[in-house]
Amino acid sequence: MTDTPNETSESQVPSLEVGALLPRLDRGEKVLLLDVRNDDEFETWKIEPHRPVETLHVPYFDFIEDAEASIAKVPKGRDVVVLCAQGGSSELVAGMLQEAGISSANVKGGMIAYGLYLEPVRVPLEAEAAARYELWQVNRRGKACLSYVVVSGEEAVVVDPSRHVEWYQGFVAERGARIVRVLDTHVHADHVSGGPGLARALSVPYFVAAGEGFELKQPVTPLADGETIRLGGATGVSIEVRVLSTPGHTPGSTSFLVDRRHLLTGDTLFVASVGRPDLGGHVVEWGHALFDTLKRRLADLPGETRVLPAHYGGIGEISAEGVVWSSLADLRRTVPEMQIATADAFVAAVRGAVKEPPKAYAEIIQVNLGAAASEERISEWELGKNQCAASAKKAAGA
């Protein structure tokens, strides 16, 4: 009987899925978030709801060392939500709080689950376009990574999927369509792509352009610059997705122009910055290519073209509709790097602004080129937010 009270109390701890917690925090519900990770983990990566959330940080080992003093730090009469890295320590702490009469719930799976959680946001389209297709921006909130699902009639393409591939299969099936092609805008350096795995699971073509200096170790169905993919199937409705080669962030970077108006730019152009060209050790060469892409290749596109990138830097970049997007005209006017007139000054500016590279980026690039890695390793590499923009404040700083 001596060991059981602990176990009983743990099993009584209500658990909360990330997908249930985030909308509550986004609405500004008055919960108290108790983060029980160690100091470093807490400082470098925080949960980021659309509205600020009152957060208390007391590491779980403080609760183990001195339960009474630690519990006393948690105000009574509040709804407490306890969060840790993987959900184990927060469950222990939530149990201790429950026993002390403080209403608390455990965030199931902790920051790992937060890092994997995908939130689909429907991009508003004009009525004429909405009759022909749906465009979904899938926001991986924990990493500020954006992927896309385009559905027209019974066919869909997925662009830049994260490695949670079953999610995309289920999501597209719910819309009564099937995925006919999987596209990556580039060889990602900050997260492991779900592209090859998703294409393999469905036996559909996969596209990524690695570009010079990279050896792709997995099957790819090439697409040429300017080529068009038609979606729709036998339903009478259809749209076109045009392939645009936009090198710079990587030599193979590609953008996809959906229905002539939505440009999925990957890491070429964000809504507050441009992609960093320094992750391959050729910052001058790639920087010049990026300048050429931004100033010349994208110059032909009309200003009303909507840019939808693969990342965002903070919640301030999310529009009122919940979408991370902007018009090309606005970006030409507001993005600092877009104001620079010469290639040399552009390269100097992006070089000067260079931040820490993403964690384990060299290894992640290798996996995205086709090398094998264990789930455990990938999970460890992917902790934390992205670092893909050339400028803007450090992603970790809230």
Partner 1 sequence: MALKKLDVRGAKCPIPIVKAKKEMDTMAPGDQLEVTSTDPGSVPDFQGWVKTAKHALLKEQRMEKDEAGKDLYIHLLERT
User: What residues make contact with partner 1 under the rule CB under 8 A?
Assistant: 38-41, 59-62, 64-66, 84-86, 88-89, 92, 380
Spatial distance between the Cα atoms of 6 and 2, rounded to a whole number of angstroms: 9
Closer by beta carbon to partner 1, 67 or else 315: 67
Spatial distance between the Cα atoms of 100 and 110, rounded to a whole number of angstroms: 22
Q: Which residues pair with 193 in a beta bridge?
A: 162
Amino acid at 198: L
Closer by beta carbon to partner 1, 67 or else 369: 67
Measured over the CA atoms of residue 344, residue 345, residue 348 and residue 354, the dihedral's sign is: negative
> Which of 34, 58, 84, 289 is flagged as catalytic?
84
332: phi then psi, degrees, rounded to nearest 5: -60, -30
Instruction: Compute the least distance from the CB of residue 108 to partner 1, in Å.
Output: 14
Look at residues 309, 302, 345, 323 and name the one whose alpha carbon lies nearest to residue 136: 323
Closer by beta carbon to partner 1, 89 or else 152: 89
Closer by beta carbon to partner 1, 90 or else 368: 90
Spatial distance between the Cα atoms of 293 and 203, rounded to a whole number of angstroms: 33
Tally of helices (H runs) and strands (E runs) in the chain:
15, 17
Count of CB atoms within 10 A of residue 215's CB? 8
Look at residues 190, 189, 208, 148 and name the one whose alpha carbon lies nearest to residue 172: 148
Instruction: Compute the least distance from the CB of residue 15 to partner 1, in Å.
Output: 16
If DSSP codes are grouped into helix, strand and coil, which group holds residue 251? coil
Contact 164, 135 (CB under 8 A): no
Closer by beta carbon to partner 1, 25 or else 84: 84
Spatial distance between the Cα atoms of 310 and 304, rounded to a whole number of angstroms: 19
Instruction: Compute the least distance from the CB of residue 3 to partner 1, in Å.
Output: 11
388 is catalytic: no
Instruction: Compute the least distance from the CB of residue 88 to partner 1, in Å.
Output: 5
Instruction: Compute the least distance from the CB of residue 53 to partner 1, in Å.
Output: 23
Q: Which residues are annotated as catalytic?
A: 84
